[in-house]
Structures are given as C-alpha cells and as structure tokens.
Structure 1
Amino acid sequence: MRFTSILAFAATAFAAEKGFNYGATFSDGTIKHQADFEAEFNSAKNLVGQSFTSARLYTMIQGDTNGVIEAIPAAISSGTTLLLGLWASAGSAQFNAEVQHLTDAINQYGTAFTNLVIGISVGSEDVYRTTDLGIASNAGPGATPDTLIGYVNQVKGAIAGTTLAGKPVGHVDTYNTWTNTTYTAGLASACDFLGVDAYPYYESTKANSIDNSMSIFWDDYNAVVAISQGKQVWVTETGWPHQGPTMNQAEANLDNAATYFKETGCSLINGNVNTWWFTLQDQQPVVPSSGVVFAVTGPGMPPPTTPLFDLSC
C-alpha cells in the first residue's frame, strides 16, 4: 500500500496514543462535569475489542464555573492521557483566558496533570473557517494563520519553565487547509506537530464510497506529511457515521462505520499513529442537530462498553 513507508516512520518516531474527541458539553448543550468525563473516559478504556486511553479536548475552560475544565481531574482519576485544546476562534481576550486556565491547571494539579499531557493544540479548524470553503459552509468565526502563529508562540512562552515545558505545541486543521501551503506554511513552521482532521465521508467531490474510503484517507494524510516540514502528523479526527445523509457515494450506516474502522482505524492503530477517533458518544442525551451520528457506542451514562460494531483489529 502507498502508506507503508509513512506507517514505518510513525512507528519508529513515537509511541502512539489512541483515544476519542470529547466536547465540553453534551449534544443538547448540557455542560459536562467531572463525573461525566470520568464515565466517558472509563467506558472508552473498557470498550469490548479495543481500549482507548487518551482524550482530545477543545477548551481549557469549564463553561458553568469559569474554572479549569473538569476533564482534567477526570483524566487524573482515570489515568487518561490528554491532547489539550485551547479554543482560538473567539478573539484574543478569549484566547488569553484559555492560556490563563492552562497555567491555572498546572498550578492546581501539578505533575499529576502535566505527566498525562501528550501535546497542546492551539485551536481546531480555525484556518479552515476563514477559507472560501469554510465561509461557504457557514462554518463560523475562524482565525488566520498569522493570528495562530502568535497564539502558538504565546502558549510556548506560557509553559516555559513549568512542568509542561517541552510538550509539543501545534494546531489542528483540515487536511486540505494544511496543504494550501501558500496560506499555512508559516503556521506549519511554528508548530511542533500538525493535527489533521480527515473525513472521506464528507469529500463529496470524490468517488467517496466506503470501498474507496481508506485510500482517500491515506491520500489526505500523506499529503499533509508531504508539507509538514518534518513535523509529526497526528490524526486528530476521523470516523464514519452510522446515521446521516448520503454524501455523493458515501452512505451512513453501521456496516460502513464498521468497515471504516476495521480498515482505516486498524491501519492507524497497527501503524502506531497518534489517533483520536470521532467519536465515543455524540448522541447523548439527544442526536446532534446535524442528524449525523458518528458514535461508537449507543446512548446512556455511563456510555455502554459494548460498541455498536466490532472494534477489534
């Protein structure tokens, strides 16, 4: 396969993390608390067929108390590693608050927290939302590469001299945003790692049936590796929905979700690539308003440990 050499590089470069993405709220907007995060993290660790022991976050701020997000003590309690996220599309004042909560977490939880941190993501798909495609998709406010370069350097300065010093600081964006190098090359230079979000299901300008999904994904990933300037490339979001509309040739159903995990997911796991799957449970307590459901488990808290499809590799 075309991705063999990339997998060999990844396997020798670092030990892989395997986890899910976790929002700060449930699908109906209810804010998650420590017990909710703990329930999710423990269910992920105990899923039949595959144990997921890492969590990717999008913010450092607990929405209802304005304190440090309660995913941090939940991770400490459950032994879950963390790819931290700082929201970067709400302006400099909000980003300053994200950085302050990052330093607050260091001071509050010490090495019990910082030893779990795999890396720090400055933003998520912020540049995509400023592109013509993002604007046409009504994706919401974003941030330019120059703004994000400043934020990356701000975070590196904030953790210097702390127990987070030396942890990689990067940015997450869509594969086609990263490969627009006339726009993003400077941002890639500023980052220690590049996080890539890639969903063949949504790539409706391609022949994106489930039969082609694995090759589309690896073409996307390899394209980011090619422009990464030697930086590590982590898979921060991918998955296939089991509910939702047909996108060109891509059909959302359980069989296809299972196939995508068995082929693409297992190739990432076996290839030792840092991967945060989308997602453990995105339909609790209600189906997302988009109607597109990527959940690996069914509804309920704690999330069921028997997945909706086979996760073994």
Structure 2
Amino acid sequence: MQLCHLVSLGFAATAAAQVYQGFNYDSVNSDGSCRGYPDFRGFFERAKNLAGTEGHFTAARLYTSIECGTTADPISAFQAAIDTDTDILVGLWASAGRNAYGKELSALITTAKQLGSAFTDRVIGISVGSEDLFRSSVQGQPDDAGAGATSAEIEGYIGWVRDWIRGTTLEGKPIGHVDTWTSWVAPENAGIISSVDFLGHNAFPYFETTRINAIEKAADNFWSGLKQTESVANGKSVFITETGWPTMGPQQRDAVASVDNTKGYYSQIGCALFGQRNTFWYTLVDSNMTQTNISFALTPIDSAAPKFDLTC
C-alpha cells in the first residue's frame, strides 16, 4: 500500500506525457568484443518482443555516439534504431577529455546530417556523460570506478553541445546528464542542474554498502535515493537511466545476487516505474563482464528467453 501511494502521488504528473521504456546498451559485448549493427539490431528486436512485456521496451539508452573500434565513426546503433523503430536516448561519453568529446559531437552531428529526420525524430534526448561526477568524487575514487570529469568540465560540455546543435534538426532536443543521487545532491554540482533540461538518475541499491542493503530494503533505498535527486532537480524531469539487481555476482554487504532477488527487484521497482517514468533498465544483455563478473542481464547473450517471468 505504501509503495502504491508513493507511485500515485509522486509520479501521476508524468502520466500524461509520453513515457519511454527501454534498456541500456553498451558498445561492447560481455567478452569485451565490439558490438556492431547486427548486434544492436538483434538486441533492439529482442527487447521489443521480450516475453511477458507486451512490447513496451521500445527505447534504448546509449553511452557513446562512436562505433566501438573506431575513433570517430557514428555508432551503428543509430541505424539499427531507425530500422527497428526504436527511440534513442543519445549518449556522449564525457570522461575521456576534450578531444574525445569533440569526436562524440562530430559523430552525432554527422549522423543527423546523413540520416536526417529518420534519426532525429527518434531522439528522446542527449545525455552529456554518465556518472562522470561520481567517478571523480571521493566516493568513486576509492572504488576504482575509473576516470571521471569535473562539474566545470561537464558544464562546459553541455554548453558545447548546445552550440553545435543550434540550427540543426537536433536543436530543441532535451539535454541532460546522468549520475548518482550522491553526485546530484553535492553542492559543487549545482551548476550542472541549472544547465540541463533533465537529470538522469542511476540507482543500484545492491551496491549501497554504506547502509543496510539486503533485498528486503531495496525498495526503500531506491525510493529514498530518487527522492534525494528530485529534491535538487528544481522541478526538472528526472529520468531513471539505470537500475537493476544482478542475478550473479559477489555479495555486497547484505545484498545477495540471485535470480529470485532480481525478480523481486524487477517486480517491486520496475513494475512501479514502467509506464509512469522514463525508465531504462539495466540491462537486457550483459556487457564487458570480464571487468566485473556481475550479471544484471534479463536474458543470456545467446537467448531471447528471460531468466524469469517479466509480466507485471
């Protein structure tokens, strides 16, 4: 009853607007090999036909606009999105320095020119970076989370993309940034909130080892984290850009990875979000497990059969 009450009060205002539901898609496979057009097309089709979901997973969030294995070629996921009628939350990787970010922008602008409205009509928004602030924070650095970017850098990149898309068919598309609630509430990042049109909220209660994080507490931890992000959003839209629970992986404090726990998290969190909030689940198929040995995938790489019943 409490969860339903929160959903009805907190999310009713978004119900009238178009709501997107999809998965996150990296540019590499679980073995670290590059994904190409056949991979993206196959995954987008799999998502749309996923048993138990009534064809509601029709959107995709990307982390980069550059094809894996190239320095600046547009990612083939863009063409795959057109060919499968999939909406795209564009990603521009922002943690590799100014030169690399410029190539991300070039790939995006090139795609808009070459593919035209068939592409731009499917663009939900443009995300400048993903967890860059977390990786550069005092929380992220001890976790060896990788290279990040500062608030000043992300603000600059947001201004840069606005300049580049002005006068193009991408002008007017919402621009945002994706990060954790701990990054969003940090005072030093307030300038980014002023600069964006939407805030992307990544939430993984499984990894929140600073508090009790057993599956029984997962719903409370998820909603409280979301409330933190919304408290500083100044009324701007908050997209759920990543959330999920692993079916396999090491125990994180009280959190245990298992198919049953993933199913429970999906039922409690996913089914409350789907159709109510722009939500990108983590994830349909695993990517680069060689780095983490954790599986969040709802389906194996070689099968479209879900690991559990996805009916809400």
TM-score range, shorter-chain basis? over 0.9
Counterparts of 1:28 and 1:246 in 2: how far apart (Å)? 22
Q: CA deviation at 1:305?
A: 2.7
Aligned-partner Cα distance in 1 for 2:308–2:239: 24
How far 1:209 moved relative to its partner? 1.3
Contact 1:6 1:222 in 2 (8 A): no
Q: Where does residue 241 of structure 1 map in the other structure?
A: 246
Contact map agreement 1:19 1:53 (CA 8 A) in 2: yes
Mapped to 2, the partners of 1:39 and 1:101 lie a distance apart of 22
Alignment equivalent of 2:191, drawn from 182, 186, 195: 186
Which residue is equivalent to 2:33? 30
Classify 1:147/1:289 alpha carbon distance in 2 versus 1 (closer, same or farther; 3 Å): closer
Partner deviation per Cα, 1:221-252 (whole Å, 9 max, x = no partner): 11111100111000000000010111111110
Could you tell me which residue of structure 2 aligns to residue 203 of structure 1? 208
Structure 1 segments of 4+ aligned residues over 6 angstroms from their partners: none
AA in 1 matched with 2:118: A
| Native 8 Å contact 2:32 2:290 kept in 1 | no
| Separation in 2, partners of 1:308, 1:293 | 11
Q: In the alignment, what sits opposite 2:118? A: 112
Aligned to 1:15: 18
Do 2:7 and 2:272's aligned partners in 1 also have CA atoms closer than 8 Å? no
Unaligned residue ranges in structure 1 (runs of 5+): none
Distance in 1 (alpha carbons) for counterparts of 2:289 and 2:177: 29
Instruction: Answer yes or no: is 1:98 the counterpart of 2:136.
Output: no
**Native 8 Å contact 1:279 1:295 kept in 2:** yes
Q: Does 1:56 align with 2:61?
A: yes
Q: What CA distance in whole angstroms lies between the structure 2 residues aligned with 1:290 and 1:142?
A: 18
* Equivalent of residue 277 in structure 1, options 259, 275, 281: 281
Aligned partner of 1:311: which letter? L
Aligned with residue 154 of structure 2, among 148, 158, 166: 148
> Is residue 65–residue 74 contact of structure 2 (8 Å, CA) maintained in 1?
yes
Measured in 1, the distance between the counterparts of 2:13 and 2:290 equals 37
Deviation at 1:99, TM superposition (A): 0.7
Residue in structure 2 matched with residue 220 of structure 1 by the alignment: 225
Encode CA deviations 1:46-67: one digit per residue, 9 max, x unaligned.
0001131111001111123431
Aligned length: 305
Residue 300 of structure 2: aligned partner: 298
Paired with 1:5 and 1:45, the residues of 2 have a C-alpha distance of 29
Equivalent-residue separation in structure 1 for 2:298 and 2:175 (angstroms):
29
Contact 1:27 1:288 in 2 (8 A): yes
| Match in the other structure for 1:121 | 127
| Identical residues among aligned pairs (%) | 43
**Alignment match, 2:306:** 307
Question: Within 2, Cα distance between the matches of 1:9 and 1:149?
Answer: 29
Give the whole-Å Cα distance in 2 for the aligned partners of 1:36 and 1:81: 17
User: Residues of 1 paired with 2:290 and 2:245: CA distance?
Assistant: 15
TM-score in terms of structure 2 length: 0.95
Of the candidates 254, 265, 268, which is equivalent to residue 270 of structure 2? 265
State the partner residue of 1:89.
Answer: 95
* Residues 139-197 of structure 1, C-alpha deviations (whole Å, 9 max, x = no match): 111111111111111111111111111110000001111111x1111100000000010
RMSD of aligned alpha carbons: 1.3
Instruction: Tell me the secondary structure at the aligned position of residue 170 of structure 1.
Output: strand
